[in-house]
Structure 1
Amino acid sequence: MKLIDTFEILEGVLYAAVFDKTSYEGVNEFRRLINQWTDREYLADYFIRNQEKLQSRFWNEMINGDPAVNVEITKAINWTIEEASEFEEEILKLASGTEKGKTLDDIFKPLHKEIRKESDNTEFKAYGIYENSWLRFYAIRYSENLYFISGGGIKLTHKMQESEDLDLELIKLQKVYNYLFKDPEIDPDLLDKLEG
């Protein structure tokens, strides 16, 4: 998988990576995820493939209020679609500054607990807006209130490495970090926007 471009969602605030060889090739990661999280067919396939993880005690209690009752796939699909729409709206409001007194820095948290929020150039995550959400956006923080979304997913496991899909997201985070801070061929127009 190769990082082929970045897409400007909101100039100077929010960008998203574009990778080749994805299910939505040529689509930026922000849009790819929203498309997946609102696609009933994709979600049905995902939750069927990950039914064992979905049936964990934590998710059963969280969704059904009872750890002994298995989460119905239809309920998980509906819950995901509803939250994805609200999550997209919230991120776009924060990026545009229309959410009174709040910015993207309020929703993106360090991916690793040992990283301080104030540090730049590190890996961040944004949780979905519901309590104990399984939706995640992953991003590199370029500077205060400036993020590059590298990807995301549905996190049904305790650690990213325990999920095939999310393990790939760690690689994508590294690719975006390298593009922004280690690759001498970063687009000069983008660099001017970021530094200007």
Structure 2
Amino acid sequence: MDALELLQRFWDDPEELRKFFKKFQKDYENYYGKAKISSIVEKAIEDADTLFETLFELAEDESGKHLSEFFKPLHNKEAGKSYELQLLKAYGTLSNSFLRVYAIRYGTSYVITGGAIKLTDQMKDRKHTKVELYKLNLVRDYLKENGEDGEFVYLDI
């Protein structure tokens, strides 16, 4: 199972999402205000469904143009810049979405490394987002080191 499939499975599982939002309820409330966990879970599932639908539709466009508009630089200070092996993020489609899909620009393709429910300002603030940052850097370094000769393999991260 690849990173995108794992992400889809997690974001479509009400029980797993309920556990996650119970664990990080304070983070959610600090950023979004108070809400029932059942409402948050429902919002996450709806947003994820739309996000994946949009992602798959854009992936059908062979020019990659639309995917380049969907993925934004991970670091906001790089807005408007585009370069090889750039770390990227895509947001859920709902306003003020907490869903993120992470990828690396590789030629005209995008290597998806994972995703997260981001409820804090910095990725380094929580273990689950710190892991996603680690995966982004690990895959980028692999692609940088192996270039076009690198085989695409499933990295057990």
- TM-score norm. by structure 2 comes to 0.88
Amino acid at match of 1:149: I
Structure (1/2) with the larger strand percentage: 1
CA distance in 1, matches of 2:98, 2:20: 13
**Residue identity opposite 1:130 in structure 2:** L
Corresponding residue of 2:155: none
1:75 is aligned to 39
The runs of at least 4 consecutive aligned structure 1 residues that moved more than 3 Å come to none
Whole-angstrom distance in 2 between the partners of 1:141 and 1:102: 12
Greater Rg, structure 1 or structure 2?
1
**Equivalent of 1:93 in 57, 64, 74:** 57
Larger helix proportion of the pair: 2
Q: Which residue of 2 aligns with 1:134?
A: 98
Match of 1:112 among 75, 78, 90: 75
SS in 2 for 1:121: coil
Distance 1:147 1:94 in 2: 12
Distance 1:118 1:173 in 2: 16
Offset at residue 164 of structure 1 (A): 1.1
* 1:150 aligned onto 2:105: no
**5+ long unaligned stretches in structure 1:** 1-26, 61-69, 191-196
Identity %: 35
1:66 corresponding residue in structure 2 = none
1:33 offset after TM fit, Å?
A: 0.6
Partner in structure 1 of residue 9 of structure 2: 35
Q: Structure 1 counterpart of 2:29, which letter?
A: Q
How far off its partner does 1:103 sit?
Answer: 1.3
User: Any idea what SS the aligned residue of 1:148 has?
Assistant: strand
Superposition pairs of residues 15-54 of structure 1, within 5 angstroms = 27-54=1-28
Structure 2: distance between partners of 1:46 and 1:33: 13
Deviations 1:8-38 (A, max 9, x none): xxxxxxxxxxxxxxxxxxx211111111011
Q: Does 1:175 align with 2:138?
A: yes
Aligned-pair RMSD on alpha carbons?
1.8
Q: Which letter does structure 1 place at the counterpart of 2:71?
A: F
Distance 1:96 1:158 in 2: 32
CA drift of 1:112 comes to 0.8
- Secondary structure at the aligned position of 1:130 is classed as coil
Aligned length: 149
